[in-house]
Structure 1
Amino acid sequence: MSLAGQLAIVTGASRGIGRGIALQLGEAGATVYITGRKPEESLNSKVGLSGLEQTAEEITKRGGKGIARFVDHQNMDEVKNFFEVIKKEHNGQLDILVNNAYQGVTAISENIGKPFYETDPYIWDTINNVGLRNHYFCTVYASRIMVARNKGLIVNVSSGGGIRYIFNVAYGVGKQALDRLSVDSSIELASKNVCVVSIWPGAAKTELSSQSFPDENGKPKEGLDKSMMFVNGESVEYPGKAVVALASDPKRMNKTGRILITEDLGREYGFVDIDGKTPPNLRSVGFILHHVGFPTIAKFIPNWVRLPGWAIWAGNGHL
């Protein structure tokens, strides 16, 4: 129970990676506030309980304390009020914020293979109002609480879409901007002992990705021949183990401002996925070759052969 006594917020935690992170934080003993929109029938909900409330129950069963709060992360007044309530009810304590809320998966799936100029430009709002603008607001309000206590951890759930074209233009621009939010805010928060990072999970086996993208027995959608990437991906709780490891690390400020890949953190801190396996690393040469169209060659490359981080950035014009 390494996080007993700590207070965490995970936005967008009714399902997917947010749910997995919240469960792992609870298992580590934290009190976890989880947010999501007003009740919608979740993929596996029991009668009378929303997916968010189910997650809160499971957090508590695992040893933490789960508290569900319905927050529309498109409404900044609701977001501001939520953080004000947290500050008041917990005497100014907030140890961990995980910015995870996202709204764009369905829109991404529905527009796969369609160029941006043929897509309704309002897809920008669908993808980035919650997935970027809201994260900025949450980071501002959380930082105000953390700075007063001279401690805290802010984790932005991002992806490699910030350095390489994936899905569509709006997605990539939003993810690169989110990584800049981590890097730039860390500069201003460094003297306040508040650590800010982006984490890049691999392809995660979420409820929506299982629905939106075909499995190994299905036919890939046009423009997305990456089915096996999700089938062989990490569980939604693997990023949660990464967040717990960071939150438990007394030297985490050495990582502030960095973009961290979940599997790199698994090797550093010594954790594996909930099925006992180690998922693919986004820097693995075999993984990269497979997903850029050379699956035969990829089979002969051991998983431990990886590109250094600087090579990935340099190859995409980010040095």
Structure 2
Amino acid sequence: MSLSGWICVVTGASRGIGKGIALQLSEAGATIYITGRQEKTLKETATQVTERGGKCVPVICDSTNDGDIEKLFERIKLEQSGRLDLLVNNAYAGVQAIFENHGKKFWESDPSLWDSCNNTGLRSHYICSVYASRIMVVRGQGLIVNISSMGGLRYLFNVPYGVGKAGCDRMAVDMAVELRSRGVASVSLWPGPVKTELVSEFVLAPDGVDPKMKNLFTNGETTEFSGLCVVKLAKDKDLMSLSGKILLTCDLARRYGIKDVDGRAVEDYTSLKFLLTQVPYISWLSSFVPSFIRMPRFLLPLASNHF
């Protein structure tokens, strides 16, 4: 029970990656405040979290409502005597809107797509981080994790999505600058393709979906793998050396020597072997390339270099 005594918050934990992270934190023995808008699904998650050995406090919270967020952290400060160890900013409401607007250009979509992607997302992450940091800096320790994606590096899905994820990454990096002297770490976490409930509904189940995309998610990470990574990260003795960085789950799998909860090794999406499988006409070359050859991390930003 490596996180016994820890007080954690996971936003948007009714399903998907947030739920998976909450479940793994509970196995590590933490007390977890989970947020969501739907009481039914939130209580279902809370039951599963408790069954895993942790203590769970489900809180109905609208992440677009600043008042709800403030009340959440005031409640934690009161109930936990001013202690908060970990905040995972995961709440996101844009997935359905993304699929509904798939194939449309930004001018063909309703402008409200921006709000769907970034109100419960980038904006709420910032508000949560403000209130969480006010608790953490007093104790001189803590960890804030923004759940982001490679969409922060290059075009993915649509314009509002990419801008939001780039903002999540930049926010984590810049918060780390101001938090470092207070002993609080801030990182952005990029999961690979994850088999969430909505992905199963919109990508894996329907016919007519791009076979390459369907295969990518079929072989993707479980919703709990990000949780495994967060637990290991939280207990890393060199955590502050990682503060201000964008971390990939596949890199953390290698750093901590962990596999997914179903026993599979996680795909390294920066390996040359994997990258070759994504290139038409030369994908056959991947069978001849060792899996340990990876793209150097300093080359990743060059993929979106516009100077």
**Partner Cα separation in structure 2 for residue 262 and residue 137 of structure 1:** 25
Q: Deviations over 1:254-312 (max 9, x none)?
A: 10000000111111111110111112122122333333545434444343221011111
CA distance in 2, matches of 1:305, 1:176: 27
Segments of 4+ moved more than 4 angstroms: none
For the residues of structure 1 that align with 2:301 and 2:259, how far apart are their CA atoms?
26
Aligned to 1:262: 249
In structure 2, stretches of 5+ residues that fail to align are none
Unaligned runs of 5+ in 1: 40-49
Residue identity in the other structure for 1:129? N
Judge conservation of contact 2:153–2:303 (CA < 8 Å) in 1. Answer: no
Q: Hey, what's the Cα distance between the residues in 2 that align with 1:239 and 1:258?
A: 16
Q: Determine helix, strand or coil for the equivalent of 1:226.
A: helix
- Asked if the contact 2:172/2:186 (under 8 Å) is kept, the reply is yes
Q: 1:238-269 deviations in whole A, cap 9, x for unaligned?
A: 00000000111122011000000011111111
**Could you say if the C-alpha distance between residues 6 and 124 of structure 1 is closer, same or farther in structure 2, counting changes exceeding 3 Å?**
same
SS in 2 for 1:260: strand
Give the structure 1 partner of residue 95 of structure 2. 105
SS in 1 for 2:107: helix
Mapped partners of 2:279, 2:28: distance in 1: 38
1:219 corresponds to which residue?
Answer: 208
2:278 to 288, 291, 294: 291
Root-mean-square deviation (Å): 1.7
Which of the numbers 182, 190, 204 marks the counterpart of 1:192?
A: 182
- Among 261, 269, 281, the alignment partner of 1:282 is 269
Normalising by the residue count of structure 2, what TM-score does the alignment of the two structures yield? Answer: 0.95
Aligned: 1:203 with 2:189: no
Is residue 154–residue 303 contact of structure 2 (8 Å, CA) maintained in 1? Answer: no
Deviation per CA, 1:219-256, whole angstroms, max 9, x where unpaired? 315xx851111111000110000000011112201100
SS at match of 1:69: strand
Q: 1:166 aligns with which of 146, 156, 167?
A: 156
Q: Which amino acid aligns with 1:250?
A: K
CA offset at residue 159 of structure 1? 0.2
- For residues 131-177 of structure 1, the C-alpha deviation after alignment (integer angstroms, 9 at most, x for no partner) is 10000000000000000000000000000001111111110111001
Matched residue, 2:238: 251
What letter corresponds to residue 120 of structure 1 in structure 2?
Answer: D
- Paired amino acid for 2:295: L
Aligned ranges for residues 115-126 of structure 1 at < 5 Å? 115-126=105-116
Give CA deviations for 1:188-216 in whole Å, capped at 9, x if unaligned. 0000010000010000010001111135x
Q: In the comparison of the two structures, how many residue pairs are matched?
A: 306
Cα gap change, 1:256/1:285 in structure 2, threshold over 3 Å: closer, same or farther?
same
- Percent identity, aligned pairs only, is 50
